Amino acid sequence: MEALIRMLPQDEAHGWGHHITILITVYWLAHGLSYSVVSRAFQVPVLSVCRLVHTGTIRIAALRQQVIQLPDAQDLDEVVLGFENLANSPIFSKCVGAIDGCHVRIRTPAGPTGQDYINRKLFPSIQMQAVCDGKGRFLNVFVGYPGSVHDTRVLRNSKIYKEALYPPQGYFLLGDGGYPCITHPVAIITPYREPVQGRVQARFNHYHAKARSIIERVFGMMKTRWRSLLFKSLEVDHTFAPTVIMACAVLHNICLTTGDIIEGPEVVDDVGLPPPCPVRGVCGGNAWRDKLAAKLSAPQVYPVELNEHDYL
Protein backbone atom coordinates (compact mmCIF):
# COMPACT_ATOMS: atom_id res chain seq x y z
CA MET A 1 0.00 0.00 0.00
CA GLU A 2 2.82 2.40 0.81
CA ALA A 3 4.50 1.73 -2.54
CA LEU A 4 1.20 2.25 -4.40
CA ILE A 5 0.47 5.51 -2.60
CA ARG A 6 3.91 6.84 -3.46
CA MET A 7 3.52 5.97 -7.14
CA LEU A 8 0.12 7.60 -7.63
CA PRO A 9 -0.42 11.36 -8.04
CA GLN A 10 -1.82 13.03 -4.94
CA ASP A 11 -3.83 15.89 -6.41
CA GLU A 12 -7.49 15.44 -5.49
CA ALA A 13 -10.52 17.20 -6.92
CA HIS A 14 -12.67 16.23 -3.93
CA GLY A 15 -12.44 16.45 -0.17
CA TRP A 16 -11.94 12.78 0.75
CA GLY A 17 -8.17 12.78 0.33
CA HIS A 18 -5.60 10.67 -1.51
CA HIS A 19 -5.31 7.90 1.06
CA ILE A 20 -9.06 7.33 1.34
CA THR A 21 -9.38 7.04 -2.45
CA ILE A 22 -6.68 4.36 -2.64
CA LEU A 23 -7.90 2.45 0.41
CA ILE A 24 -11.49 2.26 -0.83
CA THR A 25 -10.38 1.24 -4.33
CA VAL A 26 -8.05 -1.52 -3.12
CA TYR A 27 -10.66 -2.73 -0.60
CA TRP A 28 -13.27 -2.99 -3.37
CA LEU A 29 -10.89 -4.82 -5.72
CA ALA A 30 -9.73 -7.23 -3.02
CA HIS A 31 -13.19 -8.24 -1.80
CA GLY A 32 -15.45 -7.85 -4.84
CA LEU A 33 -18.16 -6.31 -2.67
CA SER A 34 -20.99 -4.04 -3.69
CA TYR A 35 -20.69 -0.28 -3.33
CA SER A 36 -23.23 -0.28 -0.49
CA VAL A 37 -21.16 -2.73 1.59
CA VAL A 38 -18.01 -0.66 1.03
CA SER A 39 -19.99 2.42 1.94
CA ARG A 40 -20.91 0.97 5.33
CA ALA A 41 -17.35 -0.24 5.97
CA PHE A 42 -15.82 3.21 5.41
CA GLN A 43 -18.85 5.29 6.43
CA VAL A 44 -18.76 7.09 3.08
CA PRO A 45 -21.88 7.77 0.95
CA VAL A 46 -22.57 5.24 -1.79
CA LEU A 47 -22.31 7.80 -4.59
CA SER A 48 -18.95 8.93 -3.25
CA VAL A 49 -17.73 5.32 -3.09
CA CYS A 50 -18.72 4.82 -6.73
CA ARG A 51 -16.85 7.95 -7.78
CA LEU A 52 -13.78 7.14 -5.67
CA VAL A 53 -13.57 3.56 -6.98
CA HIS A 54 -13.74 4.72 -10.59
CA THR A 55 -11.16 7.44 -9.98
CA GLY A 56 -8.78 5.15 -8.12
CA THR A 57 -9.10 2.31 -10.63
CA ILE A 58 -8.33 4.59 -13.57
CA ARG A 59 -5.27 6.00 -11.79
CA ILE A 60 -3.94 2.55 -10.91
CA ALA A 61 -4.49 1.26 -14.45
CA ALA A 62 -2.61 4.31 -15.78
CA LEU A 63 0.54 2.92 -14.11
CA ARG A 64 0.67 0.02 -16.60
CA GLN A 65 3.49 1.48 -18.69
CA GLN A 66 5.53 2.05 -15.54
CA VAL A 67 4.86 -1.31 -13.87
CA ILE A 68 4.21 -3.79 -16.75
CA GLN A 69 7.30 -3.66 -18.97
CA LEU A 70 9.12 -5.94 -21.37
CA PRO A 71 12.62 -6.90 -20.19
CA ASP A 72 15.68 -5.16 -21.57
CA ALA A 73 18.43 -7.01 -23.41
CA GLN A 74 20.54 -7.25 -20.25
CA ASP A 75 17.63 -8.81 -18.34
CA LEU A 76 16.89 -11.59 -20.86
CA ASP A 77 19.43 -13.98 -19.32
CA GLU A 78 17.62 -13.79 -15.99
CA VAL A 79 14.27 -14.49 -17.67
CA VAL A 80 15.74 -17.45 -19.58
CA LEU A 81 17.22 -18.87 -16.38
CA GLY A 82 13.81 -18.72 -14.75
CA PHE A 83 12.20 -20.90 -17.42
CA GLU A 84 15.15 -23.30 -17.49
CA ASN A 85 14.63 -23.85 -13.77
CA LEU A 86 10.88 -24.29 -14.21
CA ALA A 87 11.24 -26.87 -16.97
CA ASN A 88 14.42 -28.43 -15.57
CA SER A 89 15.58 -28.91 -19.14
CA PRO A 90 18.21 -27.11 -21.25
CA ILE A 91 16.08 -27.24 -24.42
CA PHE A 92 14.20 -24.17 -23.20
CA SER A 93 17.36 -22.06 -23.02
CA LYS A 94 15.77 -19.56 -25.45
CA CYS A 95 12.38 -19.27 -23.74
CA VAL A 96 11.66 -15.76 -22.47
CA GLY A 97 7.97 -15.89 -21.61
CA ALA A 98 4.71 -17.82 -21.34
CA ILE A 99 1.56 -16.56 -23.05
CA ASP A 100 -2.07 -17.44 -22.33
CA GLY A 101 -5.56 -15.99 -22.13
CA CYS A 102 -7.84 -15.64 -19.13
CA HIS A 103 -11.62 -15.06 -18.99
CA VAL A 104 -12.98 -12.58 -16.44
CA ARG A 105 -16.68 -12.96 -15.73
CA ILE A 106 -18.90 -9.91 -16.30
CA ARG A 107 -22.61 -9.15 -16.41
CA THR A 108 -24.18 -9.79 -19.80
CA PRO A 109 -24.28 -6.43 -21.60
CA ALA A 110 -27.69 -5.22 -22.69
CA GLY A 111 -28.60 -5.16 -26.34
CA PRO A 112 -27.95 -7.48 -29.28
CA THR A 113 -24.17 -7.38 -28.79
CA GLY A 114 -24.47 -9.05 -25.39
CA GLN A 115 -24.25 -12.52 -26.94
CA ASP A 116 -20.78 -11.71 -28.28
CA TYR A 117 -19.47 -11.88 -24.73
CA ILE A 118 -20.65 -15.48 -24.12
CA ASN A 119 -17.55 -17.68 -24.17
CA ARG A 120 -17.20 -21.41 -24.82
CA LYS A 121 -17.91 -22.06 -21.13
CA LEU A 122 -21.30 -20.38 -21.63
CA PHE A 123 -20.86 -17.37 -19.36
CA PRO A 124 -20.22 -13.72 -20.34
CA SER A 125 -16.62 -12.63 -20.03
CA ILE A 126 -13.86 -10.32 -21.23
CA GLN A 127 -10.55 -11.75 -22.34
CA MET A 128 -7.19 -10.92 -20.84
CA GLN A 129 -4.11 -11.99 -22.81
CA ALA A 130 -0.89 -11.90 -20.82
CA VAL A 131 2.81 -12.76 -21.10
CA CYS A 132 4.71 -13.47 -17.89
CA ASP A 133 8.28 -14.32 -16.90
CA GLY A 134 9.48 -17.25 -14.82
CA LYS A 135 8.88 -15.39 -11.55
CA GLY A 136 5.22 -14.64 -12.29
CA ARG A 137 5.54 -10.98 -13.27
CA PHE A 138 3.41 -9.71 -16.12
CA LEU A 139 5.55 -8.55 -19.06
CA ASN A 140 2.66 -7.64 -21.37
CA VAL A 141 -1.12 -7.45 -20.90
CA PHE A 142 -3.81 -6.99 -23.55
CA VAL A 143 -7.42 -6.69 -22.34
CA GLY A 144 -10.78 -5.93 -23.89
CA TYR A 145 -11.97 -8.55 -26.39
CA PRO A 146 -15.30 -10.34 -25.77
CA GLY A 147 -15.20 -13.89 -24.47
CA SER A 148 -16.42 -15.46 -27.72
CA VAL A 149 -13.31 -14.38 -29.64
CA HIS A 150 -10.70 -17.12 -30.22
CA ASP A 151 -7.30 -16.80 -28.56
CA THR A 152 -5.58 -16.65 -31.95
CA ARG A 153 -7.65 -13.67 -33.07
CA VAL A 154 -6.93 -11.86 -29.81
CA LEU A 155 -3.22 -12.51 -30.37
CA ARG A 156 -3.27 -11.23 -33.94
CA ASN A 157 -4.94 -7.99 -32.88
CA SER A 158 -2.62 -7.35 -29.95
CA LYS A 159 0.21 -4.84 -30.15
CA ILE A 160 2.82 -7.43 -29.23
CA TYR A 161 1.94 -9.36 -32.43
CA LYS A 162 1.29 -6.49 -34.83
CA GLU A 163 4.51 -4.67 -33.97
CA ALA A 164 6.58 -7.80 -33.16
CA LEU A 165 7.49 -6.30 -29.79
CA TYR A 166 8.50 -9.51 -28.05
CA PRO A 167 10.31 -11.90 -27.97
CA PRO A 168 13.56 -10.79 -29.62
CA GLN A 169 14.99 -12.62 -32.62
CA GLY A 170 16.17 -16.10 -31.66
CA TYR A 171 13.93 -16.41 -28.59
CA PHE A 172 10.41 -17.79 -28.20
CA LEU A 173 7.32 -17.87 -25.99
CA LEU A 174 5.47 -20.92 -24.71
CA GLY A 175 1.75 -21.25 -25.46
CA ASP A 176 -0.95 -23.89 -25.14
CA GLY A 177 -2.87 -25.62 -27.91
CA GLY A 178 -5.13 -22.63 -28.40
CA TYR A 179 -2.29 -20.73 -30.08
CA PRO A 180 -0.60 -21.40 -33.43
CA CYS A 181 2.93 -22.80 -33.52
CA ILE A 182 4.67 -19.98 -35.42
CA THR A 183 8.03 -18.25 -35.74
CA HIS A 184 6.95 -14.89 -37.21
CA PRO A 185 6.15 -12.17 -36.23
CA VAL A 186 6.01 -13.67 -32.73
CA ALA A 187 7.76 -16.98 -32.06
CA ILE A 188 5.42 -19.26 -30.08
CA ILE A 189 6.14 -22.92 -29.35
CA THR A 190 3.10 -25.06 -28.52
CA PRO A 191 2.94 -28.70 -27.32
CA TYR A 192 2.34 -31.68 -29.59
CA ARG A 193 -1.33 -32.52 -29.91
CA GLU A 194 -2.66 -35.67 -28.32
CA PRO A 195 -2.18 -38.51 -28.96
CA VAL A 196 1.57 -37.98 -29.16
CA GLN A 197 3.78 -40.15 -31.33
CA GLY A 198 6.59 -41.66 -29.34
CA ARG A 199 8.38 -40.98 -26.08
CA VAL A 200 10.25 -37.96 -27.41
CA GLN A 201 7.06 -36.00 -28.06
CA ALA A 202 5.64 -37.10 -24.70
CA ARG A 203 8.78 -35.91 -22.90
CA PHE A 204 8.71 -32.62 -24.79
CA ASN A 205 5.08 -32.02 -23.74
CA HIS A 206 6.00 -32.84 -20.15
CA TYR A 207 8.81 -30.28 -19.97
CA HIS A 208 6.74 -27.78 -21.96
CA ALA A 209 3.88 -28.04 -19.47
CA LYS A 210 6.22 -27.59 -16.49
CA ALA A 211 7.54 -24.34 -17.91
CA ARG A 212 4.27 -22.99 -19.30
CA SER A 213 2.21 -23.64 -16.16
CA ILE A 214 3.63 -20.48 -14.58
CA ILE A 215 1.16 -18.33 -16.52
CA GLU A 216 -1.77 -20.34 -15.13
CA ARG A 217 -0.41 -19.92 -11.61
CA VAL A 218 -0.10 -16.18 -12.24
CA PHE A 219 -3.78 -15.96 -13.20
CA GLY A 220 -4.60 -17.96 -10.09
CA MET A 221 -2.59 -15.63 -7.85
CA MET A 222 -4.18 -12.54 -9.37
CA LYS A 223 -7.73 -13.83 -9.01
CA THR A 224 -7.10 -15.13 -5.50
CA ARG A 225 -5.81 -11.77 -4.31
CA TRP A 226 -8.27 -9.58 -6.19
CA ARG A 227 -11.57 -11.31 -5.56
CA SER A 228 -13.49 -8.92 -7.77
CA LEU A 229 -12.19 -11.05 -10.70
CA LEU A 230 -12.93 -14.45 -9.15
CA PHE A 231 -16.18 -16.37 -9.68
CA LYS A 232 -18.53 -13.41 -9.14
CA SER A 233 -19.36 -11.18 -12.10
CA LEU A 234 -17.81 -7.73 -12.16
CA GLU A 235 -20.51 -5.32 -11.02
CA VAL A 236 -19.47 -2.61 -13.47
CA ASP A 237 -20.33 -1.67 -17.02
CA HIS A 238 -18.62 -3.87 -19.61
CA THR A 239 -16.87 -0.80 -21.05
CA PHE A 240 -15.20 -0.14 -17.68
CA ALA A 241 -14.34 -3.79 -16.95
CA PRO A 242 -11.05 -3.75 -18.97
CA THR A 243 -9.82 -0.87 -16.78
CA VAL A 244 -10.57 -2.89 -13.63
CA ILE A 245 -8.72 -5.93 -15.02
CA MET A 246 -5.72 -3.82 -16.01
CA ALA A 247 -5.63 -2.24 -12.54
CA CYS A 248 -5.53 -5.71 -10.95
CA ALA A 249 -2.64 -6.71 -13.25
CA VAL A 250 -0.74 -3.58 -12.22
CA LEU A 251 -1.35 -4.30 -8.54
CA HIS A 252 -0.19 -7.89 -9.06
CA ASN A 253 3.21 -6.71 -10.31
CA ILE A 254 3.50 -4.14 -7.53
CA CYS A 255 2.84 -6.87 -4.94
CA LEU A 256 5.54 -9.14 -6.41
CA THR A 257 8.03 -6.27 -6.58
CA THR A 258 7.50 -5.43 -2.89
CA GLY A 259 7.74 -9.09 -1.83
CA ASP A 260 4.04 -9.63 -1.08
CA ILE A 261 3.58 -13.16 -2.45
CA ILE A 262 0.40 -15.20 -2.44
CA GLU A 263 -0.12 -18.66 -3.91
CA GLY A 264 -3.22 -19.27 -5.97
CA PRO A 265 -4.73 -22.41 -7.49
CA GLU A 266 -2.70 -24.18 -10.15
CA VAL A 267 -5.32 -23.85 -12.89
CA VAL A 268 -8.18 -21.33 -12.97
CA ASP A 269 -9.19 -21.32 -16.62
CA ASP A 270 -9.35 -24.54 -18.64
CA VAL A 271 -9.97 -27.23 -16.05
CA GLY A 272 -11.51 -30.36 -17.53
CA LEU A 273 -12.00 -28.92 -20.99
CA PRO A 274 -10.74 -30.53 -24.21
CA PRO A 275 -7.99 -28.69 -26.08
CA PRO A 276 -9.17 -26.16 -28.67
CA CYS A 277 -9.37 -27.15 -32.31
CA PRO A 278 -6.13 -26.72 -34.26
CA VAL A 279 -5.73 -23.51 -36.21
CA ARG A 280 -5.23 -24.18 -39.91
CA GLY A 281 -2.62 -22.44 -42.02
CA VAL A 282 -0.39 -21.14 -39.20
CA CYS A 283 1.96 -24.04 -38.44
CA GLY A 284 5.26 -22.48 -39.47
CA GLY A 285 6.88 -23.17 -36.10
CA ASN A 286 6.58 -26.96 -36.21
CA ALA A 287 10.13 -27.35 -37.55
CA TRP A 288 11.52 -25.39 -34.62
CA ARG A 289 9.48 -27.44 -32.17
CA ASP A 290 10.70 -30.69 -33.75
CA LYS A 291 14.27 -29.44 -33.53
CA LEU A 292 13.87 -28.71 -29.83
CA ALA A 293 12.23 -32.08 -29.19
CA ALA A 294 15.04 -33.87 -31.05
CA LYS A 295 17.48 -32.62 -28.44
CA LEU A 296 15.69 -34.75 -25.86
CA SER A 297 16.63 -37.95 -27.72
CA ALA A 298 20.28 -36.95 -28.16
CA PRO A 299 22.72 -38.35 -25.59
CA GLN A 300 23.70 -35.80 -22.98
CA VAL A 301 27.41 -35.47 -22.23
CA TYR A 302 28.38 -33.81 -18.98
CA PRO A 303 31.94 -32.81 -18.01
CA VAL A 304 33.43 -34.85 -15.20
CA GLU A 305 36.20 -33.66 -12.90
CA LEU A 306 38.37 -36.45 -11.47
CA ASN A 307 40.42 -36.32 -8.33
CA GLU A 308 43.12 -38.58 -6.97
CA HIS A 309 40.61 -40.88 -5.26
CA ASP A 310 38.91 -41.60 -8.62
CA TYR A 311 42.25 -42.66 -10.13
CA LEU A 312 42.97 -44.91 -7.17
pLDDT of residue 234: 82
- Cα 115 from Cα 98, distance rounded (Å): 30
pLDDT of residue 125: 93
pLDDT of residue 210: 93
Q: Is the backbone peptide bond immediately before 185 cis, with ω within 30 degrees of 0?
A: yes
DSSP states of 50-64 as a string? HHHHHHHHHHHHTTH
pLDDT of residue 265: 52
- Residues of the chain short of pLDDT 50, as ranges, are 266-283, 300-312
Q: Are 77 and 205 in contact (CB under 8 A)?
A: no
Residue spans per domain, the chain: 1-67, 75-268+281-296
Q: Structure pTM?
A: 0.85
pLDDT of residue 236: 86
Q: Are 88 and 210 in contact (CB under 8 A)?
A: yes
pLDDT of residue 284: 55
pLDDT digits 0-9 by tens, 183-236: 989 999 999 988 888 888 999 999 999 999 999 999 999 988 988 887 678 888
